[in-house]
Amino acid sequence: MITGMGSFLLWSCGSPEVGPDGKPIVDEFSEMPVIQQYLLRTWKGMNDMNRMIQEPSRDKLLPDPVKPPYIQPPYTLVLELRDVLVHPEWTYETGWRFKKRPGVDFLLHHCGPPLFEVVIYTNEQGFTAFPIIDHLDPNGLIWYRLYKDTTRYVNGKHVKDLSCLNRDLEKVICIDWDADAVSSPRNHLKLKRWDGNMNDQSLVELGLMLRTIAESEVSDVREVIDYYRTFDDPLAAFRENQRLAQEQELAVKQRVEEEHQQKKFTSSIISSFFRRS
């Protein structure tokens, strides 16, 4: 059986390609002995298949940024699909289905164009992810979709190679729960993996955080991510920073109001003094 399978592999992979006229196409192996031809073509085919599995399907995963008068968002938001936006769940009644995470609509609405171009970059196969994304985004806020074939296979894992995005990495934020799933750690904002809890509000907080970064016109988002990567829960850290900022702003307003009232009181005393004089 092994001999038969090996012979079939050599015959199917080692045969020369045939042209429209039915004749074999001449290649770099055509002048070699027949057995050597078939062995080398088979070896080349196996290497090509291995490279196709391990490397992204193309060098530039996204088209070039558009030029004026068209609008190119200044930042790129890269989102994993599974356990970030949806969660697979199996029940006797429905079988396998994907639950939509609370806050997906909020995130896409507040972090879509013109602030971010939104890219789904997932380890899922295209035939699985495509209808899910269609259901999540009926308004077309997700501009690009990248599937498993565009990842790089490294040490048994499919890794998102952000250097192939054809974008300036100073403006790219990648959201994923897997610490090993992204090639550029400085662009990776790691969230906790969603387990299907429908009371979760992390995407709402994430939307507020990303919108704050974009509206602040940060020149290099990696510096912001470097700071938040030091926390186990970046969203909780952002929420605390926002609270402290609001308290500081309120304290400044109160101080200004007190100074205004003090000046008003002093002015009234001086005016009263001069009237008496």
In a domain, 28, yes or no: yes
In a domain, 95, yes or no: yes
Instruction: Compare 103 and 272 and report the one with higher pLDDT.
Output: 103
CATH assignment of the domain containing 170: 3.40.50.1000
**Cα gap 131→118, rounded to integer Å:** 17
Give pLDDT, residue 69.
86
33 and 110 part of one domain: no
Number of domains comprising the chain: 2
In a domain, 50, yes or no: yes
Strand order in the sheet with 172-176: 142-146, 116-121, 75-79, 172-176, 188-190
**Cα gap 53→13, rounded to integer Å:** 17
Residue 16 has pLDDT above 80, yes or no: no
Closest CA to 62 of 189, 185, 169: 169
Q: What is the pTM of this model?
A: 0.74
In a domain, 265, yes or no: no
- Mean pLDDT over 121-128 rounds to 90
148 and 226 part of one domain: yes
Q: Which domain holds residue 34?
A: 7-54
In a domain, 227, yes or no: yes
101 and 43 part of one domain: no
In a domain, 24, yes or no: yes
pLDDT digits (tens, 9 = 90+) for 218-232: 999 999 999 999 998
Q: What is the pLDDT of the chain when averaged over all its residues?
A: 84
Give pLDDT, residue 5.
72
